[in-house]
Structure 1
Amino acid sequence: MSRNGGSIILEFSLDFSLDRKPLFYQIYDYFKQGILNEQLPYGTFFPSIRSCAQSLKVSKNTVESAYQLLVSEGYISNIPKKGYKIVHLVKKSGSNSSPIWGGDYTDEVRIDFRYGNIELSSFPLNQWNKARNQIIGHYQRNYEVEGDSQGEYALRKELSRLLFEARGVISASEQIIIGATPQQLVSLLCQLMDTRDYVIGVEDPGYDGARNTFINLGFRVHAIPLMTDGISIDELEKSPANVIYVSPSQQFLNKLTMPQDKRQQLVQWVNSRKYVFEDDYEWEYKYENGFVASIQSLAPEKVIYIGRISKTLLPVTNISYAVLPYEVLSLFHSRVTEYDQPVSRLDQLTFAQYVSNGYWYKHLQKVRKQYEEKSKAFFEAISQNSQYFVEVEAKDTGLHAFVTVKSSKSESELIKLGKMNGVQVYGTSRYRFHMTGKYPTVLLGYGSLSCKEIHLGIKLLTEAWFEPV
């Protein structure tokens, strides 16, 4: 790898054999190492996607996927009308300064337990590109630029079928709204509710993205404490809330599934109130227990169902959805006459084709097994150091866990000490209305880590947080 003036000259070849890493990942890793080794310094512009694709003899989609991954990790930034520029500063040896990573100052990190990361190398990019090319081939002569503001019909149709089969959700394609993220959809739905008439209850602890959206838009928000089986119905009854936002597939922090009897109680509660927001995040990653049908299946006219599929895709692709009761759908059409669809038509249609071809189901079965192995490795590592940890939640679901640490140190001190030992963990205080508990709790995501890295990460954290026994 070298530079000629301000441009990069590519000096590597891709390995096209089937047993190697995906092509986009090879390109990503090549540039990443060049940046970290300072062969490509801060401020250098990458070759255009077209010229890079021509040099490496791959499709532009492959190069674009690699570039977008580098963008998402803070190595490069897309400068309008100029191209992709390196924005990552590498920490100098012996210097007290820290590297800049996407604008944040940080120490060197060996193991990053970031929630939301997934294992990129296992994603079947060839199948994704095949579905994408099918769409491009079909529409290249007859392509409607505008599309459907509510979301592409092909995608909404596939989601309606998928959600009924997997979650018991009762819906027609016309009831589904496509969005980029759950938080963006919550913001959209807030436009349909009058702040004088709607009082929002939220789980405490719970999803801060939804809670903060309600607060920022002027709604009265009441924290409803979480019990071991879900929100406290007694506290909900006492509160003035007539809308409740819940995550029943994974109750936040305790990560348990809300049982059927609690779901029935919630339906009885909402029958004389407004709505339940059901955030069904990560229902795809359930390893041991059987699924409990969605709350929406029990009261389809009283539940606004929200989910996302991004966790099973590349992180550069954001697709979420909301299933609206017909009463809410009518408000959407009357009050939001111009909804600028935030998800590209090509991504929507590609995913619809990806599901229709049967690729999504196969990929999901594969990654469930992979992540189940990672989950087992995580709890094996924790059990080896169990004398240091009070509680760990998330035994059979999701790609992350909440770890309560037997320490007099604060949450921020634990994060700092972990980072000093090369491990990044994340705090949980942002998810709470009211701080409770004797010990601090940290969030550890292990979706992108290998089993070996998980064991090493827990070992390094234990060394950083506790004196040798």
Structure 2
Amino acid sequence: MREFSLNLLSNQKPLFFQIYSYFKDEILQGQLEYGVFLPSIRSCAQSLKVSKNTIESAYHLLVSEGYICNIPKKGYKVVYQGDQNVYDNLFVSDDSYNKNIHLDFRYGNIELASFPFNQWNKVRNTFISDNQSDYMVEGKSQGEYILRKELSRLLYESRGVVSNPEQIIIGSTPQQLVSLLCQLLEADKYIIGVENPGYDGARNTFLNHGFQVHAIPLTGDGVSIEELEKSDADVMYVSPSQQFMNKMAMSQEKRQQLIQWVFSNKYIIEDDYEWEFKYEDGYLPSIQSLNPEKVVYIGRISKVLLPVSNLSYIVLPYDVLSLFYSKMPEYDQSVPRLDQLTFSQYLSDGYWYKYLQKMRKQYEEKRKVFFEAISHNMGTLVEIEGKDIGLHTFLTVKTDKTESELIALGLKKGVKVYGTSRYWFHTTGKYPTVLLGYGALNCEQIYKGTKLLAEAWFESG
């Protein structure tokens, strides 16, 4: 690892954020190339004369944003390879547009300043202080029992999920837990149905593990049961709280139909994606609550609510859990034990619930501004999916331009939006659809960004 220089300023942003920003800039500028290892947490802390917790928080934020990954027993490795968006490459011959991006509607970006770091660090530091002499780094392979117990309670109270702590396995991301599930099931014995369009991370993971995958189209209230029954699929992957592309919430009738379907099949895999951010209608209980023996339940703590760590979970029916014990007795836990223990106490102390209510109000206000801005600046020239849930939406643009052309025209105005072709097995829409996330933008930026997009798309001839 080469030498690095960084002057930390105590009167500026938090120290961990300054360190995160420094390494992020080094990576984006190509000074830290793909495959290079960052200095160890210990050596970096000694060099910068800060605590290891500060370095760990900075590194975890880089991991969460995909710049680095943690390789057990080796360290933190740069995995960022630049913007690989093929649509940008069709129209941008150099980095001039990216350097001039002023407004980025990237899904997953958040307002980091809103997170109550003081509370989080207080809980974390108290735990460290109380366990200095007997702290075990490795922890439990399934995840810490105290966290799994808290999650079991949280999921039952919030989603009706019926589980015991031993059925829960902690992981970093839903995609990683899907990969775990693929290692428990046998590819030659199961055929997977996936929503079309739907979450490509899960679909590609099944394909990469050798499973036969069938694309099941969507109807107005969820996956088509008729098409599912016509297919050979005996496992169905669904996201009923917020279907990723159409942003619909699956109706109670459709959930019951799925439960009827699974009686004569293997499993439903329920990805309860961003259930925390539903604003208007009441929550429907999870599908898992209707038949716990036949549903594998996957979820994650939203990065809006926990930006310092990736933390996801999977609830396994007991017959699948027995496969975990027999096939993966040496499973390496991917979430640092300190993060797990801190979050379990954060939940237990009630901080998480209080913060969730605050963020719901904050993002509901952004959502209202976003839709008002779209209506004012674009009117009937676009159709909007996802009005009642989540931190992003999809715009179907009524134009003869292509998806890539819309992205390129936005870039010329300094506004970045994202394509959606990757979420389809087979694209059937008449008009192109783009993805806009508004979590990290303030209300003024949201309005300005939509105005610039309207000028780019509808005044360009």
TM-score (norm 1): 0.85
- Deviation of the 1:208 alpha carbon: 0.5
- Cα distance between partner residues in 2 of 1:354 and 1:411: 43
Q: Which has the larger radius of gyration?
A: 1
Counterpart for residue 93 of structure 1: none
Q: Match for 1:390: what amino acid?
A: V
Change (3 A) 1:436 1:333: same
Equivalence for 1:50: 45
Alignment CA distance shift 1:468-1:297 (3 Å): same
- Deviation of 1:389 (Å): 3.2
Task: Give the aligned CA root-mean-square deviation in angstroms.
Answer: 3.2
Spell out, residue by residue over 1:397-453, the C-alpha distance to the aligned partner (whole angstroms, 9 max, x if none): 100001101111111111111112111111111000111111100000111111111
Q: Is 2:374 the counterpart of 1:362?
A: no
Matches within 5 A, 1:389-400: 389-400=381-392
How does 1:385-424 map onto structure 2 within 5 Å?
385-387=377-379, 389-424=381-416
Which residue does 1:260 correspond to in 2?
252
In structure 1, distance between residues paired with 2:81 and 2:184: 42
How far residue 164 of structure 1 moved from its aligned partner, in angstroms, is 0.2
Partner of residue 456, structure 2: 464
2:171–2:335 Cα contact (<8 Å) kept: yes
SS in 1 for 2:169: strand
Is 2:245–2:423's contact at 8 Å kept on the other side of the alignment? Answer: no
Alpha-carbon displacement from aligned partner over 1:194-233 (angstroms, at most 9, x marks no partner) = 2222111100000111111111111111111011100011
For structure 2, the 5+ residue unaligned runs are 83-92
* 1:375 aligned partner: 367
Match of 2:240 in 1: 248
**Partner of 1:10 in structure 2?**
7
CA distance in 1, matches of 2:222, 2:69: 42
Judge which range, 184-193 or 129-138, deviates more.
Answer: 129-138
Hey, what does 1:349 align to over in structure 2? 341
State the SS of the aligned residue for 2:299. strand
Separation in 1 of the partners of 2:6 and 2:272?
47
Structure 1 counterpart of 2:145, from 150, 153, 157: 153
Q: Which one has more relative contact order, counting CA pairs under 8 Å at least 6 apart? A: 2
Change in Cα spacing, 1:382 to 1:32, as seen in structure 2 (3 Å) is farther
Following superposition, the deviation at residue 257 of structure 1 comes to 0.9
8 Å Cα contact 2:19/2:55 also seen in 1: yes
Query: Is the CA contact (8 Å cut-off) linking 1:312 and 1:364 kept in structure 2?
Result: no
Instruction: For residue 267 of structure 1, give the secondary structure of its aligned residue in structure 2.
Output: helix
Is 2:209 aligned against 1:212?
A: no
Question: 1:451 maps to which residue?
Answer: 443
SS at match of 1:8: coil
Deviations 1:381-410 (A, max 9, x none): 101023363310111110000110111111
1:164 and 2:156 aligned: yes
Contact 1:117 1:315 in 2 (8 A): no
Given candidates 116, 120, 127, the residue that maps to 1:128 is 120
Q: Which 5+ residue runs of structure 1 have no aligned equivalent? A: 16-20, 90-95, 100-104
Greater alpha carbon shift after TM alignment, 150-159 vs 5-14: 5-14
Tell me the distance in 2 between the aligned counterparts of 1:41 and 1:186.
32
> Structure 1 CA distance, aligned partners of 2:66 and 2:204?
25
Correspondence list, 1:265-276, <5 A? 265-276=257-268
User: Structure 1 residues 169, 9: closer, same or farther in 2, change over 3 A?
Assistant: closer
Distance 2:69 2:280 in 1: 41
CA contact (8 A) 1:233 1:266 kept: yes
Shift in alpha-carbon separation, 1:196–1:408, aligned structure 2, 3 A: same
CA distance in 1, matches of 2:237, 2:377: 36
Determine the structure 1 residue equivalent to 2:174. 182
- Corresponding residue SS for 1:297: helix
Q: Give the deviation of 1:143 after TM superposition.
A: 2.2
CA–CA distance in 2 between the matches of 1:403 and 1:441? Answer: 5
Q: Secondary structure at the match of 1:262?
A: helix
- In structure 2, distance between residues paired with 1:64 and 1:459: 40
Is the Cα–Cα contact under 8 Å of residues 389 and 403 in structure 1 kept in the other structure? Answer: no
Contact 2:141/2:332 (8 A) holds in 1: yes
- CA apart distance, 1:62: 3.6
- Percent identity at matched positions? 65
Matched, 1:294 2:286: yes
Measure how far apart 1:7 and its partner are.
5.1
Taking a change above 3 Å as real, the CA distance of residues 14 and 32 of structure 1, as seen in their structure-2 partners, is farther
Q: Is the 8 A contact 1:52 1:63 kept in 2?
A: no
Structure 2 distance, partners of 1:273, 1:77, is: 37
For residues 144-177 of structure 1, the C-alpha deviation after alignment (integer angstroms, 9 at most, x for no partner) is 3331111110110000000000000000000001
Alignment partner, residue 230 of structure 1: 222
1:51/1:232 Cα in 2 relative to 1: closer, same or farther (>3 Å)? same
Give the match's secondary structure for 2:213. strand
Kindly indicate whether the alpha-carbon contact (under 8 Å) linking 2:68 and 2:76 is maintained by their aligned counterparts in 1: no
C-alpha separation in 2, matches of 1:344 and 1:81: 15
C-alpha separation in 2, matches of 1:281 and 1:357: 25
Relative to structure 1, the CA distance from residue 76 to residue 109 in structure 2 (aligned partners, 3 Å threshold; closer, same or farther) is farther
Closer/same/farther in 2, CA of residues 169 and 270 from structure 1, 3 Å limit: same
Q: For 1:98 and 1:411, how far apart are their aligned partners in 2? A: 20
Greater per-residue helix proportion: 2
Q: Does 1:98 align with 2:59?
A: no
How many aligned residue pairs are there? 442
Residues in 2 aligned to 1:151 and 1:33: alpha-carbon distance in whole angstroms: 29
**What residue number does 1:304 align with?**
296
Change in CA separation of 1:61 and 1:363 when aligned onto 2, cut-off 3 Å = same
Give the Cα separation in 2 of the matches to 1:157 and 1:60.
28
- CA distance in 1: counterparts of 2:24 and 2:336, whole angstroms: 31
In structure 2, distance between residues paired with 1:238 and 1:70 = 44
**Aligned twin of 1:435:** 427
What is the DSSP-based 3-state SS (H/G/I as helix, E as strand, rest coil) of the residue aligned with 2:138? coil
Q: Does 1:65 align with 2:84?
A: no
Structure-2 change in CA distance of 1:310 and 1:387 (3 Å): closer
Query: Which range is displaced more, 5-14 or 139-148?
Result: 5-14
Q: What is the alpha-carbon distance in structure 2 between the residues aligned to residue 249 and residue 344 of structure 1?
A: 28
Would the alpha carbon gap of residues 408 and 139 (structure 1) be closer, same or farther in structure 2, given more than 3 Å must change?
A: same
Q: Which residue of 1 aligns with 2:331?
A: 339
User: What is the distance in 2 between the residues matched to 1:423 and 1:322?
Assistant: 37
Query: Helix, strand or coil for the counterpart of 1:215?
Result: helix
In the alignment, what sits opposite 1:143?
Answer: 135
CA distance in 2, matches of 1:379, 1:137: 47
CA deviation vs aligned residue, 1:70-127 (integer Å, no higher than 9, x gap): 6766899999999999x999xxxxxx8427xxxxx94421111111111100001111
SS at match of 1:276: strand
